[in-house]
A and B are shown apart, each in its own frame.
Chain A
Amino acid sequence: MTAPAVHASDDENTPELAFQLRLYIAGQTVKSVAAIANLKRICETHLARRYSIEVIDLTEAPHLAVRDQILAIPTLVRRLPAPIKKIIGDLSNEERVLIGLDIHSDGV
């Protein structure tokens, strides 16, 4: 609950394309920091103005781990569009992240 939700999209005309993302981390570890950086970069590149990111630090809000069935850290949860998808790891492999989020590299 530390990092405030980053709202990078104001485009109300394309709500069906909005990506609602939640990133679970546990403290400022190397993997967590890398995951946040990687996620921001990928979203900016492929989902500009069509995404929101909520970063949750479980060391501060451990009870939230149950809600999204979090085991691995870091875990990225795609809440919208449905269905829910989870990507675990520090998101260093951009191609796999895009596949996981169902985003084609051309940005569609």
Chain B
Amino acid sequence: MKKKLSEGLSALVKAATGIDGLDEITGGGLPTGRPTLVCGSAGCGKTMLAMEFLVRGATEFDEPGVFMMFEENAAELTANVRSLGFDLEGLISEKKIVLDYVHIERSEIEETGEYDLEGLFIRLGHAIDSIGAKRVVLDTIEALFAGLPNQAVLRAELRRLFRWLKDRGMTAVITGEKGDGNAITRYGLEEYVADCVIILDQRIREQVSTRRLRVLKYRGTAHGMNEYPFLISPHGFSVLPITSLLLEHGVSTKRVPTGIERLDEMLGGQGVFQGSSVLVSGSSGTGKSSIAAKFIETACKRGERALFFAYEESAAQIVRNMRSVDIDLQPWIDRGLLQIHSSRPTLQGLEQHLVLMHDAVQSFRPTVVVVDPISNLTLADDDSEVKPTLMRLIDFLKKEQITAVFTSLITSGDAVSAPEDTLLGVSSLMDTWLLLRNVEFTGERNRTIFVRKSRGMAHSNQVREFILSDRGIDLVDVYLGGDRVLTGSARVAQEAQERDAATLRGEDHERKLRQLDSKRKAIEAQIAALQAEAEADSEEVHFAIAQELLQQKATHRNADAMKHQRSGSTEQLEDVVETTA
């Protein structure tokens, strides 16, 4: 209640259309109780917009509606909107919608004297009263200009009609054909319907058509002024305003491994967040698709479902080619865990691709989606369109907590100058951005990878060499020497050189140690020899001393003996011998 009151005070009351995106652009819907003009060229979706406005009004907002058509008859219209999933017959039998086909054949009509279009008013009034309608669509009332000769009367009556609709409080949508040149409508209907004017446009660029919507004017309220791409999907009309991204999707802290161990290491050791979007960019042949395929294979191995949108290769080709890097996708396709949707980007407009993706995701319910590559989805010079569309896709995937991997091709010219700049528009939408680069050096091209950004996790700042081989995908440290990064065989050569040098150094050490050892042994031998010599010397000295002592004693004894003999006492001689011994 409070909300309604404040709305009434602050701005005019609006009738929600229930159309995705349109209510966001118009800030709540079309002006209640007033007519809105929807104009555009043939085939741009005016009738679909008007019909959805009516059907949603009847089914979602309890506002029955009258559809008065001047070009198609009821059977044609019913068949046409059935493709949008609208069951008109059911709504008609429930008295929620009335169809009235107003047909006027110029050749059958003769004009004589004064007249007015009271018959139209009566028909419309009767239809409105029969179901208590709140909404009215007049599609396309300009057909009357072709059917009625007196345009002065017609104009006066149209003016009266729009006033009458206002007086009855009908929220009306009037469709009109786009005029030539700058004219909004062919017959100047905008003169009478001045409250709200919406322009639909269908443009063809490079043989691919895209539809756009713009709110030209909306009296008394603020509204989005831009052109917004829109699409007509099996679920109805859908406008893609940037503002519909309310950024309120839940986030997960669960991490999803990429399947490449060392890449996970670079991403804080655990891979990317579930429900995040990953951009893998690089010039051709850098291995973008392989990373995406590995990611998918890993998801399938976990028993999760994955969806692969391929815009470069057919499904069979992808399966075959991925086998060359030891990724076999076929078993997962067979087990129903993987679907590959291949199509040419030029097959249809961007919005149609989006619809297709939307439907595929809705029905298959995967946890991982790969788009390979997004750069093919659009033409390089039309980024303004791809961004909101992509934003819408990412938003949708995030809401569903689906992890998405987008690859993006950087053309070789850009890769040299500024590979990052070319993706600025898209990269800001991504949570994780892996950049693959070719490094050409000494007649060889090698792949490197680094994490350009990864929101919400510690990530490596290192450049790694990215190797694709029949053993799969691997990342190795690059050689950092001097001022350059070496990869490939240059790295291998450098590593071999390093290894040899190390071996040499090792041998040198051993030799030195051995030399030292033998020197020590020599010294020890010398010491032993000297000791032996010293021992020999000391033995000789002792021997000499002993000899001298013996000689001395002998001398003494001789002297004593002689002395004794000279004195003549035998006993005394014997005593002397004992003491000297």
Q: A-side interface residues toward B, CB under 8 Å?
A: 24, 26, 31, 34-35, 38, 58-59, 62-63, 65-66, 69-75, 83-93, 96-97, 99-100
Contact = CB atoms under 8 A, between A and B. Distances in A.
Interface of B: 100, 102-104, 108-120, 122-123, 125-126, 144, 148
Given A71-B102, A73-B117, A26 B109 contact: no
Contacts of B119: 24, 26, 58, 65, 70-73, 75
Q: Which 9 A-B pairs have the closest CB atoms?
A: A100-B110, A89-B113, A62-B126, A92-B113, A90-B113, A96-B112, A73-B118, A70-B119, A93-B112
Contacts of B102: 69, 71
Contacts of B125: 62
Nearest to B108: A86
Contacts of A59: 122
15 contacts: A58-B118, A62-B122, A73-B118, A73-B119, A74-B115, A83-B108, A84-B108, A87-B110, A88-B109, A88-B110, A89-B111, A89-B113, A90-B113, A90-B114, A96-B110
B133 to A, nearest CB: 14
Main SS at interface, chain B: mixed
A87 B112 contact: yes
A65 B113 contact: no
A77 B340 CA distance: 62
A71 B101 CA distance: 11
Nearest to A99: B110
Contacts of B115: 31, 72-75, 88-90
Contacts of A70: 119, 123
B111 A96 contact: yes
Contacts of A65: 119, 122-123, 126
B141 to A, nearest CB: 11
B110 A26 contact: no
Contacts of A87: 109-112
Nearest to A95: B112
Contacts of B120: 71-72
Given A69-B102, A71-B144, A26 B122 contact: yes
A62 B120 CA distance: 10
B117 A69 contact: no
A88 B108 CA distance: 10
A72 to B, nearest CB: 5
Nearest to A65: B123
Contacts of A71: 102, 104, 117, 119-120, 123, 144, 148
